[in-house]
């Protein structure tokens, strides 16, 4: 079969699907003041449309689907959608979906984890930007740290594993917790992912000085808990992955899109809640798949539309260029 391949000879295997632009947190690095939500019924894709589009993407070689937001758990009856998408893993024909994941802030996750697993979810990534209650509240605008801890335990209990924890590091806000997070990974046997602060915040407060570089993260952890690189190449993955040299459980991952950009091996494409294809987190253009769907296009025409968009995928982002232009939308609209 002919897989999705861009003009730079990269095969596209990962689809990120945003289910909603809404979020019940107000993290300063994403949605500090909130933004007017998208119109609901008229604008966002229905579950049936998402299922149909994902089926097409899987037929074109997509192996991994991650459901994002906003906060995807705010999408009503998300378990129903997961059940629909999970069927793409067991269909008779090849290719098949290999991995169905969810990224969440964990606010309502604990009481729904069992049903998500039953519906067919494979694993979960949980956001956690501080281990300290008051600081967590300052960062997110919500006093919900215990909910996140409960989410981690629920994910383990219902085998939504491996459990990954995302932490966006910002200088002067939470960079003094790097070693604490490494210890947390060891003690709780989770995959800790440190992510460099990116210019995707709706408040437009990002500065280069606020970045905590991958090198600094590695050095701080290694000084306390010596690390060993797990693989010589990260392939199409976003994170350099490290294990603890003393054999302790847990893992450290470092995602460094600014200081150690990984665009050359990017295998991702994104679909926004309102049905726009984005070829890069930092794209300044979007491609309207929703209107293509709703105009009566047949499957072959939609396939051709998707292929034509993938060919427009950028060679790299331009964050480090002098004339960098911010992405056309903030992270809450794009899906991570």
Would the annotation count 218 as a binding residue?
no
Instruction: Please tell me whether 242 is known to bind a ligand.
Output: no
Is 268 labeled as ligand-binding? yes
On whether residue 141 sits in a domain, the answer given is yes
Residue 194 maps to a domain: no
Query: How is residue 211 annotated by DSSP?
Result: B
Domain of residue 24: give its range: 14-163+264-334
In a domain, 281, yes or no: yes
Residue 236's pLDDT is 64
Residue 57 confidence (pLDDT) = 97
Specify the pLDDT at position 5.
Answer: 94
Q: Is 41 annotated as a binding residue?
A: no
For residue 316, is it within any domain? yes
Please check if 127 is assigned to a binding site: yes
Q: Beta strands 191-196 and 251-255: pairing type? A: parallel
Q: Judge whether 87 is annotated as a binding position.
A: no
Whether residue 217 lies inside any domain: the answer is no
DSSP-derived 3-state class of residue 3: coil
Q: Residue 286: which CATH number? A: 3.20.20.70
Q: Residue 27: its pLDDT value, please?
A: 86
Q: Is 167 annotated as a binding residue?
A: no
Residue 265 φ/ψ, nearest 5 degrees: -115, 15
Report d(CA 179, CA 50) in Å as an integer: 40
pLDDT at position 93, please?
72
In terms of C-beta density within 10 A (0-12 exposed, 13-18 middle, 19 or more buried), how is residue 260 classed? middle
How many domains does the chain divide into?
Answer: 1
- Joined together, the tokens standing for residue 47 give 């579950």
Look at residue 125 and tell me if it is in a domain.
yes
Let me know if residue 314 belongs to a domain.
Answer: yes
Q: Which residues of the chain have pLDDT under 50?
A: none
* Res 3: pLDDT: 85
Q: Is 16 among the annotated ligand-binding positions?
A: yes
Nearest CA to 240 out of 269, 215, 220, 277 is that of 215
Asked if residue 292 belongs to a known ligand binding site, the reply is no
Strands (DSSP E) along 172-274, which ranges?
191-196, 227-229, 239-244, 251-255, 268-271
The answer to whether position 202 is within a domain reads no
Task: For residue 10, say whether it is annotated as part of any ligand binding site.
Answer: no
pLDDT at 41: 64
- 332 carries a ligand binding annotation: no
213 is in an annotated binding site: no
Q: 270: annotated binding-site residue?
A: yes
């Amino acid at each position: 079969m002919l897989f999705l391949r861009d003009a730079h000879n990269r095969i596209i295997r990962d689809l990120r699907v945003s289910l909603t632009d809404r979020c019940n947190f107000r993290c300063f690095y994403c949605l500090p003041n909130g933004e007017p939500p998208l119109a609901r019924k008229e604008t966002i894709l229905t579950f049936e449309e998402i299922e149909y589009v994902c089926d097409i993407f899987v037929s074109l070689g997509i192996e991994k689907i991650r459901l994002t937001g906003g906060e995807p758990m705010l999408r009503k009856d998300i378990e129903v959608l997961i059940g629909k998408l999970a069927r793409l893993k067991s269909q008779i024909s090849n290719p098949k979906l290999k991995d169905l994941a969810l990224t969440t802030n964990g606010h309502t996750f604990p009481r729904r984890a069992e049903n998500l697993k039953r519906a067919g979810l494979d694993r979960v990534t949980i956001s956690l930007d501080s281990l300290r209650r008051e600081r967590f509240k300052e960062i997110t605008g919500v006093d919900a740290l215990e909910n996140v801890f409960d989410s981690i335990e629920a994910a383990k209990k219902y085998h939504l594993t491996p459990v990954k924890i995302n932490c966006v590091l910002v200088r002067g806000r939470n960079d003094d917790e790097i070693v604490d997070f490494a210890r947390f990974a060891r003690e709780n046997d989770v995959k800790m992912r440190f992510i460099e602060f990116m210019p995707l915040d709706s408040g437009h407060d990002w500065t280069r000085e606020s970045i905590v570089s991958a090198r600094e993260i590695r050095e701080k952890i290694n000084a306390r808990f010596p690390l060993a690189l797990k693989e010589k190449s990260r392939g199409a993955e976003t994170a350099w992955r490290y294990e603890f040299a003393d054999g302790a459980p847990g893992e450290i991952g470092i995602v460094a899109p600014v200081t150690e950009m990984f665009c050359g091996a990017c295998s991702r494409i994104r679909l926004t809640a309102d049905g726009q294809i984005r070829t890069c987190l930092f794209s300044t253009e979007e491609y309207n798949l929703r209107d293509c769907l709703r105009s009566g296009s047949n499957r072959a025409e939609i396939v051709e539309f998707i292929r034509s968009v993938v060919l427009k995928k950028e060679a790299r982002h331009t964050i480090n260029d002098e004339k960098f232009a911010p992405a056309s939308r903030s992270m809450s609209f794009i899906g991570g």
